[in-house]
Amino acid sequence: MSQPQYTPSLAPEHWTSWAPDVADAFMVADNHNRFIGARYAAHGDDWIEMSLPWREDLVETEDGALGPGVLIALLDLTCSRSVWTRLSGYRPHATLDLRVDHLRQPRPRAALRAFARCHQLTRHLAYVSGSAHDGNPDDPVATATGVFISTLGYFE
Amino acid sequence: MSGGAPLLPDTPFARSLGIEIAGIEADVVRLLMPFSNRVTGRPDLLHGGSIGGLFDMAVMANLRLALSEASPEAKIERVNMTVRYLRAGRKLLTYADAEIIRLGRTLATVSARAWQEDRNRPIATAEASLLVLRPD
């Protein structure tokens, strides 16, 4: 994994200097994102992909599959990051609502991969759609739709 | 409790987040999730994603309880869940419970709420649809 050249901070002067692939460095804090082990995989203008390796302590089924709890967390995180990707910068915001459609259970011991695209951005609201799979993007385990809110405003 | 799965299966993920049954009153299962680094989002605030996991377990526990008498061997399949975030969760214990809005022959609709100090001021709510597959 490549090392970022700087450590992003939450200070407002850094809000526009983020790049999606170095935002993982932001997750130096010992928090939920760090705990579940999600990491940056790829991005485009308005979308991002995150990966989540399989781990024994995240398992919720008898046959050793991930989710659904960690799947929801991964989708929430990926959707949130897609907004920052579209903004090319960080903005504090909160999930307003998030809907997850469970298409099928992930396979035992499979890693998860989530994709999210911020398809609409207004001053205070960001609209995102995403999905997650366990190896084959044409056979997703879940889809997601989320709305995020920034009371400060995503832009001037 | 007759046959079927435990209300809250002892999964690694539940153990990782410290999620447990807080109590069962009037046929409602209440879960708790302690505050820890593992469920933190921004400093000293609860991470929204961890509330999603708590909701899923609360929904399932209450649905299992509702099915335990008439259909203890029923299989439950998740269809979807929508979480609405209302207030920031703080550095406190989080509770969640759920209400069966409708339990039909094959479809269940369950509404859940999560709170910290006051159940009347929830930090989030969720609504879930699930399929109930009864062997009989």
What confidence category does residue A6 fall into, taking pLDDT thresholds of 50, 70 and 90?
Answer: very low
Q: Chain A residues with CB inside 8 Å of B48's CB?
A: 76, 94-95, 98
Per-residue pLDDT, B42 = 82
The residue among A60, A74, A77, A90 with the most chain B CBs within 10 A of its CB, best to mutate, is A60
pLDDT digits (tens, 9 = 90+) for B21-41: 999 999 999 999 999 999 998
Residue A25: pLDDT band (50, 70, 90) is low
Residues of chain B contacting A79 with CB distance shorter than 8 Å? none
Tens digits of per-residue pLDDT, B6-18?
999 999 999 999 9
Q: In A, which residues are within 8 Å of B42 by CB distance?
A: 92
Q: What is the 3-state secondary structure (H, E, C) of chain A?
A: CCCCCCCCCCCHHHCCCCCCCCHHHHHHCCCHHHHHCCEEEEECCCEEEEEECCCHHHECCCCCCECCHHHHHHHHHHHHHHHHHHHCCCCCCEEEEEEEEECCCCCCCCCEEEEEEEEEECCCEEEEEEEEECCCCCCEEEEEEEEEECCCCCCC
Mean residue pLDDT across chain A: 88
Q: What is the pLDDT of residue A12?
A: 63
pLDDT for res B4: 59
**Quick one: closest CA in B to A73, which residue?**
B49
Q: How does DSSP assign B85-135, residue by residue?
A: E-S---SS-EEEEEEEEEE-SSEEEEEEEEESS-TTS-SEEEEEEEEEE--
- Beta carbons of B11 and A61 less than 8 Å apart: yes
Are the CB atoms for B50 and B84 separated by under 8 Å? no
Lowest mean pLDDT among A6-20, A49-63, A71-85: A6-20
Q: What percent of chain A has pLDDT over 70?
A: 83
Nearest to A59 among B11, B80, B85 (CB): B11
Chain A neighbors of B14, CB-CB under 8 A: 60, 69
Q: How many CA atoms, within 13 angstroms, populate the side-chain half-sphere of residue B131? A: 9
Predicted confidence band at A89 (pLDDT cuts at 50, 70, 90)?
confident
pLDDT at B68 over 90: yes
pLDDT of residue A28: 57
| Structure confidence at residue A33 (pLDDT) | 87
- Give the model's pLDDT for residue A140: 98
Rounded Cα–Cα distance for residues B53 and B57 (Å)? 6
Strand order in the sheet with B20-25: A39-43, A47-52, A112-121, A125-133, A140-149, A94-102, B75-85, B124-133, B107-115, B94-103, B28-33, B20-25
A7 or B15, greater pLDDT:
B15
Residue A2 has pLDDT above 50, yes or no: no
